[in-house]
Chains A and B, each alone.
Chain A
Protein backbone atom coordinates (compact mmCIF):
# COMPACT_ATOMS: atom_id res chain seq x y z
CA UNK A 1 0.00 0.00 0.00
CA UNK A 2 1.81 3.10 -1.23
CA UNK A 3 -1.13 5.43 -0.79
CA UNK A 4 -2.73 5.72 2.65
CA UNK A 5 -5.02 8.33 4.14
CA UNK A 6 -2.13 10.64 5.05
CA UNK A 7 -0.82 10.61 1.50
CA UNK A 8 -4.32 11.14 0.13
CA UNK A 9 -4.62 14.25 2.32
CA UNK A 10 -1.37 15.51 0.82
CA UNK A 11 -2.57 14.77 -2.73
CA UNK A 12 -5.87 16.56 -2.06
CA UNK A 13 -3.90 19.59 -0.92
CA UNK A 14 -1.71 19.52 -4.05
CA UNK A 15 -4.81 19.04 -6.23
CA UNK A 16 -7.10 21.58 -4.53
CA UNK A 17 -9.65 18.80 -4.32
CA UNK A 18 -11.65 17.31 -1.50
CA UNK A 19 -12.57 13.63 -1.54
CA UNK A 20 -15.80 12.96 0.34
CA UNK A 21 -15.63 10.78 3.46
CA UNK A 22 -17.75 8.00 1.96
CA UNK A 23 -15.45 7.75 -1.08
CA UNK A 24 -12.06 7.83 0.64
CA UNK A 25 -11.47 4.12 1.13
CA UNK A 26 -12.63 3.35 -2.41
CA UNK A 27 -10.33 5.92 -4.00
CA UNK A 28 -7.37 4.85 -1.84
CA UNK A 29 -7.93 1.30 -3.03
CA UNK A 30 -8.23 2.34 -6.69
CA UNK A 31 -5.15 4.55 -6.60
CA UNK A 32 -3.13 1.77 -4.99
CA UNK A 33 -4.28 -0.69 -7.63
CA UNK A 34 -3.20 1.68 -10.40
CA UNK A 35 0.10 2.62 -8.74
CA UNK A 36 1.05 -1.03 -8.16
CA UNK A 37 0.28 -1.76 -11.81
CA UNK A 38 2.43 1.08 -13.18
CA UNK A 39 5.32 -0.08 -11.00
CA UNK A 40 5.98 -2.65 -13.75
CA UNK A 41 8.02 0.15 -15.37
CA UNK A 42 10.83 -0.71 -12.95
CA UNK A 43 11.22 -4.06 -14.75
CA UNK A 44 12.60 -2.24 -17.79
CA UNK A 45 16.24 -1.30 -18.04
CA UNK A 46 16.48 2.40 -18.86
CA UNK A 47 20.14 3.00 -18.00
CA UNK A 48 21.68 5.69 -20.20
CA UNK A 49 18.28 6.81 -21.48
CA UNK A 50 17.53 10.53 -21.35
CA UNK A 51 15.21 11.48 -18.50
CA UNK A 52 13.30 14.05 -20.52
CA UNK A 53 11.18 13.37 -23.55
CA UNK A 54 9.99 15.62 -26.34
CA UNK A 55 8.39 14.66 -29.61
CA UNK A 56 11.04 16.50 -31.63
CA UNK A 57 14.65 17.32 -30.96
CA UNK A 58 14.08 20.88 -32.16
CA UNK A 59 14.07 23.54 -29.49
CA UNK A 60 11.02 25.64 -28.70
CA UNK A 61 10.55 28.08 -31.58
CA UNK A 62 11.35 31.72 -30.97
CA UNK A 63 9.34 34.63 -32.29
CA UNK A 64 9.99 38.34 -32.67
CA UNK A 65 9.33 40.28 -29.51
CA UNK A 66 6.49 42.33 -30.93
CA UNK A 67 3.25 42.87 -29.03
CA UNK A 68 0.27 40.94 -30.41
CA UNK A 69 -3.04 40.54 -28.68
CA UNK A 70 -6.63 39.89 -29.62
CA UNK A 71 -8.06 42.30 -27.08
CA UNK A 72 -11.55 40.89 -27.51
CA UNK A 73 -10.46 37.56 -25.96
CA UNK A 74 -9.80 38.91 -22.44
CA UNK A 75 -12.91 41.07 -22.75
CA UNK A 76 -15.08 38.07 -23.68
CA UNK A 77 -13.54 35.96 -20.90
CA UNK A 78 -14.28 38.65 -18.31
CA UNK A 79 -17.83 39.08 -19.66
CA UNK A 80 -18.64 35.40 -19.14
CA UNK A 81 -16.67 34.84 -15.94
CA UNK A 82 -18.63 33.62 -12.89
CA UNK A 83 -18.20 37.04 -11.20
CA UNK A 84 -16.62 40.11 -12.76
CA UNK A 85 -16.80 43.90 -12.93
CA UNK A 86 -15.12 46.24 -15.42
CA UNK A 87 -11.94 44.39 -16.33
CA UNK A 88 -11.60 42.48 -13.07
CA UNK A 89 -12.53 39.04 -11.77
CA UNK A 90 -14.25 39.29 -8.42
CA UNK A 91 -13.02 36.85 -5.77
CA UNK A 92 -13.81 36.40 -2.08
CA UNK A 93 -11.92 38.78 0.20
CA UNK A 94 -8.24 37.78 0.40
CA UNK A 95 -6.99 40.24 3.06
CA UNK A 96 -8.98 40.45 6.28
Chain B
Protein backbone atom coordinates (compact mmCIF):
# COMPACT_ATOMS: atom_id res chain seq x y z
CA UNK B 1 0.00 0.00 0.00
CA UNK B 2 1.14 3.52 -0.80
CA UNK B 3 2.36 5.42 2.28
CA UNK B 4 0.60 8.49 3.63
CA UNK B 5 3.58 10.67 2.70
CA UNK B 6 3.35 9.49 -0.93
CA UNK B 7 -0.46 9.62 -1.02
CA UNK B 8 -0.38 13.31 -0.03
CA UNK B 9 1.33 14.00 -3.39
CA UNK B 10 -1.37 12.30 -5.50
CA UNK B 11 -3.63 14.25 -7.86
CA UNK B 12 -7.40 14.33 -7.45
CA UNK B 13 -7.81 11.71 -10.21
CA UNK B 14 -5.20 9.44 -8.65
CA UNK B 15 -6.96 9.71 -5.29
CA UNK B 16 -10.27 8.66 -6.88
CA UNK B 17 -8.50 5.63 -8.35
CA UNK B 18 -6.89 4.86 -4.97
CA UNK B 19 -10.29 4.86 -3.26
CA UNK B 20 -11.73 2.55 -5.92
CA UNK B 21 -8.79 0.19 -5.45
CA UNK B 22 -9.22 0.31 -1.68
CA UNK B 23 -12.95 -0.42 -1.90
CA UNK B 24 -12.26 -3.48 -4.08
CA UNK B 25 -9.54 -4.76 -1.76
CA UNK B 26 -11.70 -4.25 1.32
CA UNK B 27 -14.48 -6.25 -0.31
CA UNK B 28 -12.05 -9.01 -1.31
CA UNK B 29 -10.86 -9.22 2.32
CA UNK B 30 -14.33 -9.07 3.86
CA UNK B 31 -13.47 -12.08 6.04
CA UNK B 32 -11.03 -9.96 8.07
CA UNK B 33 -14.01 -7.86 9.21
CA UNK B 34 -11.70 -4.87 9.67
CA UNK B 35 -14.38 -2.48 8.42
CA UNK B 36 -17.95 -2.18 9.67
CA UNK B 37 -18.94 0.44 7.09
CA UNK B 38 -17.50 1.85 3.88
CA UNK B 39 -18.72 5.42 4.01
CA UNK B 40 -16.78 8.17 2.29
CA UNK B 41 -16.84 11.85 3.15
CA UNK B 42 -15.39 13.81 0.26
CA UNK B 43 -12.14 14.33 -1.59
CA UNK B 44 -8.67 13.76 -0.22
CA UNK B 45 -6.36 11.02 0.98
CA UNK B 46 -8.55 8.24 2.44
CA UNK B 47 -8.03 7.53 6.15
CA UNK B 48 -9.88 4.72 7.98
CA UNK B 49 -11.74 5.90 11.08
CA UNK B 50 -12.43 3.94 14.26
CA UNK B 51 -16.17 3.55 14.87
CA UNK B 52 -16.06 5.90 17.91
CA UNK B 53 -14.99 9.12 16.13
CA UNK B 54 -17.80 11.38 14.87
CA UNK B 55 -17.97 11.93 11.11
CA UNK B 56 -20.98 14.05 10.20
CA UNK B 57 -23.83 12.04 8.59
CA UNK B 58 -22.09 8.70 9.34
CA UNK B 59 -23.63 6.09 11.57
CA UNK B 60 -20.98 6.06 14.34
CA UNK B 61 -21.80 3.28 16.76
CA UNK B 62 -18.85 2.51 19.11
CA UNK B 63 -19.18 -1.13 18.05
CA UNK B 64 -22.40 -1.30 20.09
CA UNK B 65 -25.96 -2.43 19.59
CA UNK B 66 -27.22 0.47 21.69
CA UNK B 67 -26.07 3.01 19.09
CA UNK B 68 -27.67 1.33 16.09
CA UNK B 69 -29.61 4.04 14.27
CA UNK B 70 -27.49 6.91 15.58
CA UNK B 71 -26.25 9.40 12.99
CA UNK B 72 -23.37 11.72 13.92
CA UNK B 73 -24.58 15.34 13.76
CA UNK B 74 -21.12 16.93 13.59
CA UNK B 75 -17.47 16.20 12.83
CA UNK B 76 -14.95 15.44 15.55
CA UNK B 77 -12.21 18.09 15.67
CA UNK B 78 -9.69 15.55 14.33
CA UNK B 79 -11.91 15.06 11.28
CA UNK B 80 -12.14 18.83 10.67
CA UNK B 81 -8.36 19.08 10.95
CA UNK B 82 -7.86 16.12 8.59
CA UNK B 83 -10.16 17.61 5.98
CA UNK B 84 -8.37 20.96 6.18
CA UNK B 85 -5.11 19.12 5.46
CA UNK B 86 -6.38 17.25 2.39
CA UNK B 87 -7.34 13.98 4.11
CA UNK B 88 -10.78 12.42 4.12
CA UNK B 89 -12.49 9.84 6.34
CA UNK B 90 -12.95 6.61 4.40
CA UNK B 91 -14.58 3.64 6.10
CA UNK B 92 -15.42 2.86 9.73
CA UNK B 93 -13.25 0.28 11.48
CA UNK B 94 -14.29 -2.37 13.97
CA UNK B 95 -13.57 -2.07 17.69
CA UNK B 96 -14.37 -3.57 21.07
CA UNK B 97 -17.72 -2.22 22.24
CA UNK B 98 -17.12 1.31 23.63
CA UNK B 99 -13.36 0.60 23.35
CA UNK B 100 -13.58 -1.75 26.35
CA UNK B 101 -11.43 -4.69 25.44
CA UNK B 102 -8.08 -5.98 24.24
CA UNK B 103 -9.17 -8.25 21.38
CA UNK B 104 -12.00 -6.61 19.32
CA UNK B 105 -14.06 -9.73 20.14
CA UNK B 106 -16.71 -7.74 22.04
CA UNK B 107 -17.90 -5.78 18.99
CA UNK B 108 -21.57 -5.93 18.03
CA UNK B 109 -20.30 -6.58 14.47
CA UNK B 110 -18.38 -9.73 15.39
CA UNK B 111 -14.66 -10.32 15.66
CA UNK B 112 -11.91 -8.92 13.44
CA UNK B 113 -9.25 -11.37 12.27
CA UNK B 114 -5.49 -10.81 12.56
CA UNK B 115 -4.13 -10.53 8.99
CA UNK B 116 -1.07 -12.58 9.99
CA UNK B 117 -3.00 -15.55 11.37
CA UNK B 118 -6.73 -16.19 11.04
CA UNK B 119 -6.90 -17.96 14.41
CA UNK B 120 -5.55 -14.93 16.30
CA UNK B 121 -7.04 -11.66 17.51
CA UNK B 122 -5.86 -8.36 16.00
CA UNK B 123 -5.72 -6.91 19.51
CA UNK B 124 -7.97 -4.16 20.70
CA UNK B 125 -9.76 -2.08 21.09
CA UNK B 126 -8.67 -0.44 17.80
CA UNK B 127 -8.38 -3.90 16.19
CA UNK B 128 -10.18 -2.95 12.97
CA UNK B 129 -7.89 0.02 12.31
CA UNK B 130 -4.77 -2.10 12.99
CA UNK B 131 -5.94 -5.00 10.78
CA UNK B 132 -6.90 -2.59 7.97
CA UNK B 133 -3.46 -0.95 7.87
CA UNK B 134 -1.60 -4.26 8.30
CA UNK B 135 -3.55 -5.98 5.50
CA UNK B 136 -2.99 -3.12 3.05
CA UNK B 137 -6.65 -2.09 3.25
CA UNK B 138 -5.91 1.46 4.43
CA UNK B 139 -3.21 4.07 3.83
CA UNK B 140 -3.47 4.94 7.51
CA UNK B 141 -6.10 4.96 10.24
CA UNK B 142 -7.21 6.75 13.38
CA UNK B 143 -7.60 4.82 16.61
CA UNK B 144 -8.17 5.78 20.25
CA UNK B 145 -6.07 4.75 23.24
CA UNK B 146 -7.48 4.68 26.78
CA UNK B 147 -5.28 1.91 28.18
CA UNK B 148 -3.29 0.71 25.16
CA UNK B 149 -6.01 0.47 22.53
CA UNK B 150 -3.80 1.91 19.76
CA UNK B 151 -0.44 0.48 20.76
CA UNK B 152 -1.44 -3.12 21.56
CA UNK B 153 -3.31 -3.83 18.29
CA UNK B 154 -0.50 -2.05 16.38
CA UNK B 155 1.99 -4.45 18.00
CA UNK B 156 -0.20 -7.51 17.35
CA UNK B 157 -0.67 -6.59 13.66
CA UNK B 158 2.88 -5.35 12.93
CA UNK B 159 2.19 -1.66 12.31
CA UNK B 160 3.02 1.65 13.99
CA UNK B 161 0.56 3.08 16.53
CA UNK B 162 1.02 6.27 18.53
CA UNK B 163 -0.71 7.65 21.63
CA UNK B 164 -0.18 11.41 22.06
CA UNK B 165 0.32 13.24 25.37
CA UNK B 166 -3.02 13.78 27.10
CA UNK B 167 -4.34 17.12 25.89
CA UNK B 168 -2.41 17.19 22.59
CA UNK B 169 -5.28 15.92 20.45
CA UNK B 170 -8.83 17.17 20.94
CA UNK B 171 -11.30 14.63 22.30
CA UNK B 172 -14.24 16.63 20.89
CA UNK B 173 -16.27 14.10 18.94
CA UNK B 174 -14.61 11.00 20.41
CA UNK B 175 -17.04 8.58 22.03
CA UNK B 176 -16.14 9.03 25.71
CA UNK B 177 -15.01 5.93 27.61
CA UNK B 178 -12.69 7.25 30.37
CA UNK B 179 -12.29 10.97 29.81
CA UNK B 180 -9.11 11.46 31.85
CA UNK B 181 -7.33 8.73 29.86
CA UNK B 182 -8.73 8.82 26.28
CA UNK B 183 -6.61 10.10 23.38
CA UNK B 184 -7.03 9.76 19.61
CA UNK B 185 -3.88 8.82 17.69
CA UNK B 186 -2.45 7.69 14.33
CA UNK B 187 -2.07 4.06 13.19
CA UNK B 188 0.23 3.86 10.18
CA UNK B 189 2.62 1.81 8.08
CA UNK B 190 5.74 3.57 9.35
CA UNK B 191 7.03 6.10 11.88
CA UNK B 192 7.20 9.06 9.49
CA UNK B 193 3.56 8.60 8.46
CA UNK B 194 2.60 8.51 12.15
CA UNK B 195 4.41 11.83 12.68
CA UNK B 196 2.64 13.36 9.66
CA UNK B 197 -0.82 12.24 10.80
CA UNK B 198 -0.09 13.23 14.41
CA UNK B 199 0.86 16.74 13.24
CA UNK B 200 -2.40 17.02 11.31
CA UNK B 201 -4.74 15.97 14.15
CA UNK B 202 -2.96 17.65 17.09
CA UNK B 203 -3.26 21.22 18.34
CA UNK B 204 -5.38 23.38 20.60
CA UNK B 205 -9.16 23.13 20.39
CA UNK B 206 -11.55 25.36 22.34
CA UNK B 207 -14.19 22.60 22.20
CA UNK B 208 -12.17 20.34 24.55
CA UNK B 209 -11.60 21.87 28.00
CA UNK B 210 -8.58 19.58 28.52
CA UNK B 211 -6.94 20.62 25.24
CA UNK B 212 -3.57 22.33 25.79
CA UNK B 213 -2.36 25.54 24.16
CA UNK B 214 0.45 23.92 22.22
CA UNK B 215 0.69 23.72 18.46
CA UNK B 216 4.32 22.65 17.88
CA UNK B 217 4.80 20.14 15.06
CA UNK B 218 7.28 17.30 14.63
CA UNK B 219 7.27 15.82 11.11
CA UNK B 220 9.30 18.62 9.46
CA UNK B 221 12.00 18.31 12.13
CA UNK B 222 12.45 14.53 12.43
CA UNK B 223 16.06 13.77 13.34
CA UNK B 224 17.00 10.10 13.78
CA UNK B 225 20.68 11.04 14.29
CA UNK B 226 20.08 12.48 17.77
CA UNK B 227 21.88 10.45 20.44
CA UNK B 228 19.45 9.73 23.25
CA UNK B 229 19.49 8.20 26.71
CA UNK B 230 16.97 5.37 26.77
CA UNK B 231 15.87 3.59 29.95
CA UNK B 232 14.90 -0.05 30.21
CA UNK B 233 13.07 -1.50 33.20
CA UNK B 234 14.44 -5.01 33.90
CA UNK B 235 11.72 -5.93 36.42
CA UNK B 236 9.15 -5.29 33.67
CA UNK B 237 10.61 -7.66 31.13
CA UNK B 238 10.95 -10.76 33.28
CA UNK B 239 7.28 -11.75 32.91
CA UNK B 240 7.15 -11.35 29.12
CA UNK B 241 7.18 -14.31 26.70
CA UNK B 242 10.38 -15.54 25.05
CA UNK B 243 9.32 -13.91 21.75
CA UNK B 244 9.00 -10.54 23.44
CA UNK B 245 12.27 -10.98 25.37
CA UNK B 246 14.12 -11.79 22.13
CA UNK B 247 12.68 -8.75 20.36
CA UNK B 248 13.56 -6.63 23.39
CA UNK B 249 17.18 -7.79 23.37
CA UNK B 250 17.38 -7.12 19.65
CA UNK B 251 15.99 -3.59 20.03
CA UNK B 252 18.41 -2.80 22.86
CA UNK B 253 21.36 -4.01 20.76
CA UNK B 254 20.21 -2.05 17.72
CA UNK B 255 19.71 1.15 19.76
CA UNK B 256 23.17 0.78 21.35
CA UNK B 257 24.67 0.29 17.91
CA UNK B 258 22.99 3.44 16.72
CA UNK B 259 24.84 5.37 19.43
CA UNK B 260 22.12 5.69 22.06
CA UNK B 261 22.93 5.19 25.74
CA UNK B 262 20.93 2.46 27.47
CA UNK B 263 20.40 2.77 31.23
CA UNK B 264 18.45 0.67 33.72
CA UNK B 265 15.67 2.09 35.89
CA UNK B 266 13.05 0.70 38.27
CA UNK B 267 9.29 1.20 38.27
CA UNK B 268 6.85 -0.05 40.90
CA UNK B 269 5.16 -3.40 40.33
CA UNK B 270 2.77 -2.94 37.39
CA UNK B 271 0.00 -4.78 39.25
CA UNK B 272 -0.74 -1.45 40.94
CA UNK B 273 -1.08 0.23 37.53
CA UNK B 274 -3.72 -2.33 36.58
CA UNK B 275 -5.68 -1.68 39.75
CA UNK B 276 -5.47 2.12 39.51
CA UNK B 277 -6.48 1.89 35.87
CA UNK B 278 -9.48 -0.40 36.21
CA UNK B 279 -10.86 1.57 39.16
CA UNK B 280 -10.42 4.91 37.36
CA UNK B 281 -11.56 3.77 33.92
CA UNK B 282 -14.67 1.93 35.10
CA UNK B 283 -15.67 4.85 37.37
CA UNK B 284 -15.42 7.29 34.47
CA UNK B 285 -17.14 4.83 32.11
CA UNK B 286 -20.12 4.36 34.43
CA UNK B 287 -20.64 8.13 34.31
CA UNK B 288 -19.97 8.59 30.59
CA UNK B 289 -22.23 5.74 29.55
CA UNK B 290 -25.14 6.99 31.67
CA UNK B 291 -26.17 9.04 28.60
CA UNK B 292 -27.22 5.92 26.68
CA UNK B 293 -30.78 5.62 27.84
CA UNK B 294 -32.76 4.77 24.71
CA UNK B 295 -34.39 8.19 24.64
CA UNK B 296 -32.11 10.57 22.79
CA UNK B 297 -30.09 8.46 20.38
CA UNK B 298 -29.45 4.96 19.22
CA UNK B 299 -31.92 2.18 19.80
CA UNK B 300 -34.75 1.90 22.32
CA UNK B 301 -36.46 -1.09 23.87
CA UNK B 302 -39.90 0.11 24.93
CA UNK B 303 -40.96 -0.63 28.50
CA UNK B 304 -44.27 -0.04 30.26
CA UNK B 305 -42.92 3.16 31.84
CA UNK B 306 -39.90 5.46 31.51
CA UNK B 307 -37.73 3.68 34.05
CA UNK B 308 -38.38 0.30 32.51
CA UNK B 309 -37.55 1.78 29.09
CA UNK B 310 -34.17 2.96 30.41
CA UNK B 311 -33.39 -0.39 31.99
CA UNK B 312 -34.51 -2.49 29.03
CA UNK B 313 -32.75 -0.30 26.46
CA UNK B 314 -29.49 -0.46 28.41
CA UNK B 315 -29.72 -4.13 29.38
CA UNK B 316 -30.40 -5.25 25.82
CA UNK B 317 -28.20 -2.61 24.15
CA UNK B 318 -24.94 -3.13 26.06
CA UNK B 319 -22.80 -6.26 25.83
CA UNK B 320 -21.43 -8.22 28.80
CA UNK B 321 -18.05 -6.48 29.14
CA UNK B 322 -19.61 -3.02 29.03
CA UNK B 323 -22.17 -4.03 31.67
CA UNK B 324 -19.41 -5.47 33.84
CA UNK B 325 -17.45 -2.21 33.71
CA UNK B 326 -20.53 -0.05 34.43
CA UNK B 327 -21.40 -2.21 37.46
CA UNK B 328 -17.79 -2.11 38.66
CA UNK B 329 -17.62 1.66 38.11
CA UNK B 330 -20.75 2.20 40.14
CA UNK B 331 -19.30 -0.06 42.84
CA UNK B 332 -16.06 1.93 43.22
CA UNK B 333 -18.00 5.21 43.25
CA UNK B 334 -20.75 4.13 45.61
CA UNK B 335 -21.14 5.23 49.19
CA UNK B 336 -19.07 3.10 51.53
CA UNK B 337 -16.55 2.06 48.86
CA UNK B 338 -15.63 5.41 47.25
CA UNK B 339 -12.68 6.22 49.54
CA UNK B 340 -11.18 2.74 49.58
CA UNK B 341 -11.27 2.31 45.81
CA UNK B 342 -11.82 5.45 43.75
CA UNK B 343 -9.98 7.97 45.95
CA UNK B 344 -7.18 5.50 46.63
CA UNK B 345 -6.72 4.94 42.87
CA UNK B 346 -6.41 8.71 42.31
CA UNK B 347 -3.72 8.89 44.98
CA UNK B 348 -1.85 6.01 43.38
CA UNK B 349 -2.11 7.82 40.06
CA UNK B 350 -0.08 10.67 41.57
CA UNK B 351 2.60 8.19 42.57
CA UNK B 352 2.71 6.63 39.09
CA UNK B 353 3.01 10.05 37.46
CA UNK B 354 5.75 11.11 39.91
CA UNK B 355 7.73 7.93 39.22
CA UNK B 356 7.82 8.74 35.53
CA UNK B 357 8.70 12.38 36.23
CA UNK B 358 11.71 11.22 38.25
CA UNK B 359 12.90 8.92 35.46
CA UNK B 360 12.43 11.56 32.76
CA UNK B 361 14.66 14.00 34.65
CA UNK B 362 17.56 11.78 33.60
CA UNK B 363 16.49 9.97 30.43
CA UNK B 364 14.90 10.89 27.09
CA UNK B 365 12.88 7.74 26.44
CA UNK B 366 11.83 4.44 28.00
CA UNK B 367 11.80 1.23 25.95
CA UNK B 368 9.12 -1.25 27.04
CA UNK B 369 7.13 -4.23 25.80
CA UNK B 370 3.60 -3.45 24.58
CA UNK B 371 2.03 -6.77 25.58
CA UNK B 372 3.34 -9.81 27.46
CA UNK B 373 3.26 -11.89 24.23
CA UNK B 374 2.26 -11.89 20.57
CA UNK B 375 -1.41 -11.90 19.48
CA UNK B 376 -3.66 -14.23 21.48
CA UNK B 377 -5.79 -16.94 19.93
CA UNK B 378 -9.52 -16.23 19.84
CA UNK B 379 -11.25 -16.95 23.13
CA UNK B 380 -8.08 -17.19 25.21
CA UNK B 381 -8.80 -13.92 27.05
CA UNK B 382 -12.41 -14.81 27.88
CA UNK B 383 -11.80 -14.37 31.62
CA UNK B 384 -12.15 -10.62 32.37
CA UNK B 385 -9.34 -10.42 34.93
CA UNK B 386 -6.97 -12.32 32.60
CA UNK B 387 -7.74 -9.75 29.92
CA UNK B 388 -7.13 -6.84 32.31
CA UNK B 389 -3.77 -8.32 33.32
CA UNK B 390 -2.69 -8.42 29.66
CA UNK B 391 -2.74 -4.58 29.65
CA UNK B 392 0.15 -4.55 32.10
CA UNK B 393 2.64 -2.66 29.90
CA UNK B 394 0.37 -0.05 28.37
CA UNK B 395 -1.90 1.44 31.02
CA UNK B 396 0.57 3.39 33.19
CA UNK B 397 1.25 5.56 30.13
CA UNK B 398 -2.43 6.59 30.07
CA UNK B 399 -2.59 7.04 33.86
CA UNK B 400 0.36 9.46 33.64
CA UNK B 401 -0.81 11.07 30.38
CA UNK B 402 2.45 10.35 28.53
CA UNK B 403 3.08 10.02 24.77
CA UNK B 404 4.16 6.59 23.48
CA UNK B 405 4.64 4.85 20.17
CA UNK B 406 4.50 1.13 19.34
CA UNK B 407 6.49 -0.12 16.37
CA UNK B 408 7.25 -3.54 14.90
CA UNK B 409 10.63 -5.05 15.85
CA UNK B 410 10.63 -8.52 14.34
CA UNK B 411 8.56 -11.57 13.50
CA UNK B 412 8.34 -14.48 15.94
CA UNK B 413 9.18 -18.06 14.94
CA UNK B 414 5.44 -18.66 14.64
CA UNK B 415 5.25 -15.84 12.10
CA UNK B 416 3.58 -13.25 14.35
CA UNK B 417 4.69 -9.62 14.66
CA UNK B 418 6.40 -8.53 17.87
CA UNK B 419 6.16 -4.82 18.66
CA UNK B 420 7.71 -2.73 21.39
CA UNK B 421 6.99 0.79 22.58
CA UNK B 422 8.98 3.90 23.32
CA UNK B 423 7.61 6.26 25.98
CA UNK B 424 8.53 9.95 26.35
CA UNK B 425 8.01 12.77 28.83
CA UNK B 426 4.77 14.76 28.50
CA UNK B 427 4.75 16.95 25.35
CA UNK B 428 8.10 15.58 24.15
CA UNK B 429 6.64 14.04 20.98
CA UNK B 430 9.67 15.30 19.04
CA UNK B 431 12.06 13.06 20.98
CA UNK B 432 9.55 10.21 20.83
CA UNK B 433 9.38 10.30 17.03
CA UNK B 434 13.14 10.94 16.63
CA UNK B 435 13.92 7.87 18.73
CA UNK B 436 11.29 5.75 17.00
CA UNK B 437 12.61 6.74 13.57
CA UNK B 438 16.14 5.89 14.65
CA UNK B 439 14.99 2.47 15.87
CA UNK B 440 12.98 1.82 12.69
CA UNK B 441 15.87 2.81 10.40
CA UNK B 442 18.42 0.84 12.43
CA UNK B 443 16.25 -2.31 12.22
CA UNK B 444 16.05 -1.97 8.44
CA UNK B 445 19.78 -1.45 7.87
Which A residues form the contact surface with B (CB < 8 A)? Answer: 3, 7-8, 10-12, 14-19, 23, 27, 30-31, 33-35, 37-44, 46, 49-56, 60-61, 63, 70, 72-73, 76-77, 80-83, 89, 91-94
Contact = CB atoms under 8 A, between A and B. Distances in A.
Interface string B341-385: 101111111110000000000000000000000000000000111
Contacts of A31: 324, 327-328, 331
B302 A35 contact: no
Nearest to B302: A92
Given A7-B331, A17-B311, A31-B327, 7 more contacts: A16-B307, A34-B385, A50-B347, A51-B343, A55-B167, A76-B73, A80-B73
Q: What is the interface of chain B mostly: helix, strand, loop, or mixed?
A: helix
A42 B324 contact: no
A90 to B, nearest CB: 9
Size band of the interface chain B makes with A: 35 or more
Contact of A52 (B209, B328, B346): B346
A82 B327 CA distance: 25
A11 B209 contact: no
Contact of A73 (B74, B323, B348): B74
B180 interface: yes
A55 B297 CA distance: 31
A70 to B, nearest CB: 7
B340 A11 contact: no
B309 A41 contact: no
Given A17-B311, A34-B384, A49-B351, A81 B344 contact: no
Contacts of B299: 82
A77 B296 contact: yes
B350 A55 contact: no
B315 interface: yes
B344 A42 contact: yes
B279 A15 contact: no
B385 A33 contact: yes
Interface stretch (B122-130, B227-235, B269-277): B269-277
Interface in B258-316: 268, 271-272, 274-276, 278-279, 286, 290, 293-300, 302-312, 314-315
B348 A72 contact: no
Nearest to A51: B343
Given A37-B385, A53-B346, A81 B295 contact: yes
B348 A41 contact: yes
Contacts of B315: 17-19
A14 B166 contact: no
Contacts of B327: 8, 11-12, 15, 17, 19, 27, 31
Given A55-B210, A73-B73, A92-B305, A18 B330 contact: no
Q: Which 4 A-B pairs have the closest CB atoms?
A: A76-B73, A82-B300, A46-B347, A38-B275
B176 interface: no
B350 A72 contact: no
Nearest to A82: B300
B275 A40 contact: yes
A38 B381 CA distance: 19
Contacts of B294: 82
Contacts of B298: 82
B427 to A, nearest CB: 11
A77 B331 CA distance: 32
A66 B383 CA distance: 51
B100 to A, nearest CB: 13
A14 B330 contact: yes
Contact of A60 (B167, B209, B320, B326): B209
Contacts of B73: 72-73, 76-77, 80
Contacts of A7: 331
